């Protein structure tokens, strides 16, 4: 029934509607009246549902809450596991892959099958997974779920197919990597330790095979017990009982010594000749105190002991500092001979790994770099230079340098903008990096054919703006802009900004960018707007400041009698906010009672400042305190370079600024914009104090005010991560409760302010939180000289249109359905040297709505989308052609009109996680995908669509997730992604020499199959672990079989299939044997029965 009703809704709402002059049309499709004839709107819609498919493309940024690290020394690729079950695999720039465990369990450990194109992950739900990396989108081949034991440590020897798995109970199990089945061979904890030992040794924290003999396994237990287990003899060679807990163990490559790190900050070196006591005990950071005792030190969480031919061995460890050094940052210590270098880190160390030239553990290791995984950064240290410089990281791991508070996404930018931003941004790059190439250089990636210039802009809590080159599914930082440089640093005693926002007074709330004119506008949380122009030259400039009083309501307690005729506003008998213009900014004043009034939140620099090439601030607009109340957050912004105008609004009203003449043209409350055309009968206000708090709400209601209150908090506050409430009251009775009507969206464009207009004129479209659309016509001088001197006149508001709920987006189409771009000014560098032959004049580009379709008549289509509804109006008649109710149970968070497949559509993202596209102008549903099961404030704040069928959002505080909703891009995605696996010959092991091999034991004679195979060890208990075939099993490998490694992959598939057939054959053989035994038994019984009978008795 529900589906059928939806179909009926689609039929009724897509029928032509009446004129939208009254609120009665706001909740339904309207009564059919004289609709425009087909001749008037002859739009051939080309988009169909087959053009759309939703899929993730690539994830950028630092893996959020990392937990594990692994490196393949032959393939030279790096894997990072995270707490949410994600795995990021990185190679050369462009090779960047994200995988996600379906369970979402934290990744405990990662192990590459070196040079095999596979990865084993151990997760917190005690499951092992085998990932196939021989395809561009890795898939799980097998999983093994442990039922009775918890996994604590895994070790996979090089070129072995048997994985050692240590558990919390102290047992060691062995898993066949090919079949992902447990071997019957188990090293039980009570066999590993002596029977006389009374206490449990604790969980297994280390497993490794001896470099001298692969048949010897070193097992480290948390309590301090170390056992070398002879796998052939199934007994312990030696046992060490040390009184300090063990965190890690590392072998010398000759296999005669190993080093342990302990919880008391000590390192112990053990010699296999004498294991009764350590050969050496050192406290690298523990000094001897005056009383002769050692300082107590923090645990050394990991140590690596690596040898080098040309120099002393390297001992590298994390932690171990003395406790008394409070405030010391986390450290990585490099001991090289007698030299000790302590590298201080900005964040706690999660894991580190030394990169060595050889994959063999019995050769001289030759370390050349250390990868250090921090809680919020990835650092690679060059060990080949004595000062240990870090490598310059080619991946964008610093998106979260300051928390991201807003995003913007621009596809198909002007081709010259990326090189010029890069050239200016490159001048401010840090220096002092290692001169060597980035060592994580595996995989292959080529620039695909489906690329075009794309830019992502991120705004941050510290007021910084970052421009990123996002072309060809990569991400590279181009340019960074610090908006805080416009303002004076607040003095410690003042704290004016702190009274509005406790922290981050410069936090960016929204940005508006015109790539053609290169004009850039930033809205900050302290109710400020900064306008920037781009220049290739440095300049001396004085920032112009405008101050606007946009506080339309006295917050004093008022009686009904005083407010009877003026229910909404009571500001000295005037409905309009009073503009307050100062140039330059001056300190505000206070009333005798100490109440702040007519002062901005921040102080703009009032002196001439030298600005470098790039974006240079030209104008700052600030809202003022009124009667001790801070200004309300700015909720909407639009800028038009052709008009030279900037408009912004909040929950009190709207203001329009002429940024060429630096004047305020309009500053008016939302109610005053209506004039006599107010569609609502507003009730008188109850006599109560209705002060709007800036502390914020986490639940969103139908009234936009609560969204503004949420925005008014510091964007970095934790409660932003709280989930949305799924229900919003759709009743318009909220108007009775609170008449504040926020301006939620603004758009400049050529349109018709009134039905009677014959020609389009510059207009400002205003959308409010009550679903009202207002048009404000403007008259702008066309001559350049006149434009700088004559005032822009703004007429009284014209049309009033209605929709359900808060208005989010406007767009304009011509009468053949093509998108009308906003007019713009072509960029010119105002700081460039004057050329007398070519005077700098403003060059404007206009897109007239009636230029290309004379036969179709004048006019254009206006697409208006609100939180619940989309409508298409024909201008200037203002008749509603199409209506679509987008959602009843949720609400739209983001809506954009975008170009896809040489056409346009309306793309919407809802609070319930649905991503939808609607055709234009008919608003037919083309796609509706339940993409995100739960949406939180971070995603809501950062989700944005762009042209070409792309979108992005902040999937975690440190990562940007890009998605596509275009079928064409989904089809081409394989071509655009990098290859993780490249066929490389495994380096040969060095010739060990006759004597060394003879006396040192020969590791190559050890056959694990003989010991761990089913024939020798039997089958493991079925209840211990459960094998789960992966979705990327044989089918996944068949995909990988095409390409450069086809033969190898086919051989693997054949082996796998052969193994499956052998397994089936074995089962059939077992059945035949059982059948034969049964037959033999019956035959024997028959023989006994008939033994004494004569032949004639049968």
Comparison of pLDDT for 235 and 671, the residue scoring more: 235
Give the C-alpha separation, 256 to 251, whole Å: 8
Residue 628: what pLDDT?
83
Give the C-alpha separation, 236 to 96, whole Å: 44
Residue 990: what pLDDT?
79
**Which pair of structure tokens corresponds to residue 175?**
């898993």
- Band (pLDDT 50/70/90 cuts) for residue 1073 is confident
User: Residue 768: which of 740, 793, 734, 727 has the closest Cα?
Assistant: 740
**Helix (H) or strand (E) segment spanning residue 650:** none
Instruction: Provide the residue count of the chain.
Output: 1098
Torsion of CA 915, 919, 922, 924, to 10 degrees: -50
User: Residue 662: which of 646, 639, 674, 676 has the closest Cα?
Assistant: 646
Residue 74 has a CB neighbour count (10 Å cut-off) of: 18
pLDDT exceeds 50 at position 246: yes
CB-CB contact of 551 with 669 (8 Å):
no
CB-CB contact of 351 with 302 (8 Å):
yes
Residue 105: what pLDDT?
95
DSSP per-residue letters across 267-309: EEEEETTB-SS-SEEE-TT--B-TTSPBPPB--EEEEEEE--S
713 in helix, strand or coil? coil
CB-CB contact of 308 with 366 (8 Å):
yes
Please name the residues in contact with 1063: beta carbons below 8 A apart, sequence gap of 6 or more.
Answer: none
* E-strand stretches of 931-1040: 944-946, 950-956, 959-966, 1025-1029
- Residue 240 pairs in a beta bridge with 226
CB-CB contact of 641 with 514 (8 Å):
yes
User: Residue 965: which of 942, 989, 946 has the closest Cα?
Assistant: 946
Give the C-alpha separation, 96 to 702, whole Å: 41
- Band (pLDDT 50/70/90 cuts) for residue 94 is confident
| Tens of pLDDT, residues 124-150 | 999 999 999 999 899 999 999 999 899
CB-CB contact of 119 with 112 (8 Å):
yes
Q: How much is the CA Rg of the chain, to the nearest whole Å?
A: 36
- Band (pLDDT 50/70/90 cuts) for residue 754 is confident
**Which pair of structure tokens corresponds to residue 315?**
């001992």
User: Residue 763: which of 677, 852, 642, 662 has the closest Cα?
Assistant: 642
Residue 344 has a CB neighbour count (10 Å cut-off) of: 9
DSSP per-residue letters across 356-376: ES-S-TTS---EEEEEEEESS
- Residue 477 pairs in a beta bridge with 468
Comparison of pLDDT for 642 and 709, the residue scoring more: 642
| Tens of pLDDT, residues 1006-1034 | 777 777 877 677 777 777 888 888 876 44
Give the C-alpha separation, 631 to 577, whole Å: 12
738 in helix, strand or coil? coil
When pLDDT is averaged across residues 599-626 and rounded to a whole number, the result is 92
Give the C-alpha separation, 820 to 255, whole Å: 73
| Tens of pLDDT, residues 480-494 | 999 999 999 876 555
When pLDDT is averaged across residues 574-596 and rounded to a whole number, the result is 48
CB-CB contact of 45 with 882 (8 Å):
no
Backbone phi, then psi, for 884, in 5-degree steps?
A: -140, 125
Reported as half-sphere exposure (CB side, CA atoms, 13 A), residue 578 has a value of: 12
Number of DSSP helices (H) and strands (E) in the chain, helices first? 15, 65
Residue 717: what pLDDT?
43
Give the C-alpha separation, 477 to 466, whole Å: 7
**Which pair of structure tokens corresponds to residue 606?**
């009032």
- Band (pLDDT 50/70/90 cuts) for residue 1064 is low
Residue whose tokens read 């084993």: 120
| Tens of pLDDT, residues 941-988 | 999 999 999 999 999 999 999 999 999 999 888 888 888 999 999 998
């Amino acid at each position: 029934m529900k589906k059928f009703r939806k179909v009926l809704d689609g039929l009724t709402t897509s029928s032509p509607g009446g004129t939208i002059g009254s609120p009665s049309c706001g909740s339904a499709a309207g009564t059919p009246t004289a609709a425009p004839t087909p001749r008037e709107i002859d739009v051939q819609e080309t988009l169909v549902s087959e053009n759309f498919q939703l899929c993730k493309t690539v994830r950028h940024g630092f893996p959020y809450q990392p937990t594990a690290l692994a490196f393949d020394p032959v393939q030279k690729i790096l894997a990072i596991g995270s707490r949410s079950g994600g795995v990021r695999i990185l190679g050369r720039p462009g090779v960047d892959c994200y995988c996600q465990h379906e369970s979402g369990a934290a990744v405990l450990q990662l192990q590459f099958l070196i040079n095999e194109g596979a990865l084993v992950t151990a997760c917190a739900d005690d499951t092992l997974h085998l990932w196939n990396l021989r395809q561009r989108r890795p898939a799980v081949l097998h999983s093994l779920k442990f039922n009775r034991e918890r996994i604590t440590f895994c070790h996979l020897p090089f070129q072995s197919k048997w994985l050692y798995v240590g558990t919390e109970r102290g047992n060691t199990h062995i898993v066949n990597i090919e079949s992902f089945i447990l071997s019957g061979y188990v090293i039980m904890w009570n066999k590993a330790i002596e029977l006389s030992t009374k206490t449990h040794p604790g969980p297994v924290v280390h497993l490794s095979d001896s470099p001298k003999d692969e048949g010897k396994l070193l097992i480290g237990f948390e309590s301090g017990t170390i056992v070398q287990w002879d796998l052939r003899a199934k007994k312990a060679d030696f046992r060490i009982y040390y009184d300090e807990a063990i965190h890690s163990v590392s072998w010398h490559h000759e296999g005669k010594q190993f080093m342990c790190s302990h919880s008391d900050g000590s390192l112990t070196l053990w010699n296999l000749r004498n294991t009764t006591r350590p050969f050496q005990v050192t406290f690298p950071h523990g000094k001897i105190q005056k009383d002769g005792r050692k300082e107590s030190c923090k645990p050394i969480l990991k140590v690596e002991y690596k040898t080098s031919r040309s120099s002393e061995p390297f001992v590298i460890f994390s932690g171990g500092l003395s406790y008394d050094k409070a405030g010391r940052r986390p450290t990585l210590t490099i001991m090289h001979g007698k030299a000790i270098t302590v590298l201080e880190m900005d964040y706690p160390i999660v894991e580190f790994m030394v990169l060595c030239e050889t994959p063999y553990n019995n050769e001289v290791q030759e370390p050349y770099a250390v990868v250090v995984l921090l809680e919020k950064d990835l650092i690679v240290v060059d060990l080949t230079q004595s000062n240990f410089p870090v490598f310059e990281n080619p991946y964008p791991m610093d998106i979260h340098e300051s928390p991201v508070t807003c995003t913007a996404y621009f596809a198909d930018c002007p081709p010259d903008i990326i090189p010029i931003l890069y050239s200016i941004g490159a001048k401010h790059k840090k220096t002092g990096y290692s001169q060597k190439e980035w060592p994580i250089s595996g995989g292959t990636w080529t620039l695909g054919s489906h690329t075009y210039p794309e830019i992502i802009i991120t705004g941050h809590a510290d007021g910084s703006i970052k421009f990123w080159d996002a072309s060809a599914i990569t991400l590279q930082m181009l340019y960074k802009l610090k908006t805080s440089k416009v303002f004076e640093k607040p003095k410690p005693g003042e704290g004016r900004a702190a009274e509005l926002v406790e922290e981050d007074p410069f936090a960016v709330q929204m940005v508006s960018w015109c790539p053609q004119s290169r004009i850039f506008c930033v809205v900050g949380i302290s109710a400020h707007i900064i306008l920037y122009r781009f220049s290739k030259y440095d300049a001396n400039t004085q920032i112009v400041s405008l101050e606007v009083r946009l506080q339309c309501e006295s917050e004093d307690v008022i009686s009904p009698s005083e407010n009877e005729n003026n229910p909404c506003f009571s500001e000295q008998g005037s409905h309009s906010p009073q503009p307050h213009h100062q140039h330059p900014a001056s300190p505000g004043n206070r009333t005798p009672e100490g109440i702040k009034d007519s002062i901005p939140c921040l102080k703009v620099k009032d002196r001439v400042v030298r600005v470098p090439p790039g974006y240079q601030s030209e104008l700052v607009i600030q809202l003022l305190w009124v009667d001790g109340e801070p200004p309300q957050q700015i909720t909407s912004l639009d800028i038009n370079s052709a008009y030279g105008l900037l408009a912004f609004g909040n929950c009190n009203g709207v203001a329009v600024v002429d940024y060429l003449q630096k004047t305020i043209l309009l500053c008016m409350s939302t109610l005053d914009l209506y004039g006599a055309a107010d569609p609502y009968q507003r009730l008188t206000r109850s006599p109560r104090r209705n002060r709007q708090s800036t502390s914020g709400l986490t639940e969103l209601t139908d009234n936009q005010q609560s969204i503004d209150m949420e925005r008014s908090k510091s964007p970095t506050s934790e409660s932003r991560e709280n989930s949305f409430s799924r229900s919003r009251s759709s009743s318009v009775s909220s108007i009775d409760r609170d008449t504040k009507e926020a301006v939620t969206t603004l758009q400049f464009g050529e349109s018709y302010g009134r039905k009677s207009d014959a020609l389009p004129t510059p207009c400002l479209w205003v959308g409010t939180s009550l679903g009202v659309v207002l048009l404000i016509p403007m008259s702008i001088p066309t001559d350049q000289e006149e434009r700088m001197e004559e005032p822009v006149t703004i007429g009284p508001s014209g049309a009033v249109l209605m929709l359900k709920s808060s208005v989010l987006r406007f767009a304009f189409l011509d009468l053949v359905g093509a998108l009308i771009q906003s007019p713009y000014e072509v960029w010119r560098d105002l700081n460039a040297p004057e050329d007398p032959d070519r005077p700098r004049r403003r060059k404007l580009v206009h897109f007239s709505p009636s230029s290309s379709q004379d036969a179709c008549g004048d006019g254009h289509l206006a697409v208006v989308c609100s939180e619940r509804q989309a409508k298409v109006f024909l201008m200037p008649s203002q008749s509603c052609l199409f209506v679509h109710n987008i959602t009843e149970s949720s609400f739209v968070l983001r809506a954009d009109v975008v170009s896809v497949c040489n056409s346009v559509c309306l793309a919407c993202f809802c609070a319930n996680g649905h991503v939808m596209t609607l055709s234009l102008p008919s608003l037919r549903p083309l796609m509706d995908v339940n993409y995100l099961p739960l949406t939180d404030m971070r995603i809501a704040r950062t989700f944005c669509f762009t042209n070409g069928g792309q979108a992005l959002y902040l999937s975690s505080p440190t990562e940007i997730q890009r998605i596509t909703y275009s079928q064409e891009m989904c089809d081409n995605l394989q071509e655009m992604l990098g290859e993780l696996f490249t066929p490389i010959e495994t380096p040969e092991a060095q010739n060990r020499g006759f004597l060394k091999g003879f006396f040192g034991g020969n590791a190559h004679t050890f056959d694990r199959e003989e010991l761990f195979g089913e024939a020798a060890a039997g089958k493991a208990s079925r209840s211990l672990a459960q094998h789960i075939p992966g979705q990327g099993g044989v089918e996944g490998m068949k995909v990988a079989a095409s390409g450069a490694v086809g033969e190898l992959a086919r051989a693997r598939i054949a082996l796998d299939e052969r193994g499956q057939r052998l397994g089936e054959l074995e089962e059939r053989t077992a059945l035949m044997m059982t059948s034969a035994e049964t037959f033999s038994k019956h035959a024997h019984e028959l023989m006994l029965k008939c033994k004494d009978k004569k032949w004639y008795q049968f």
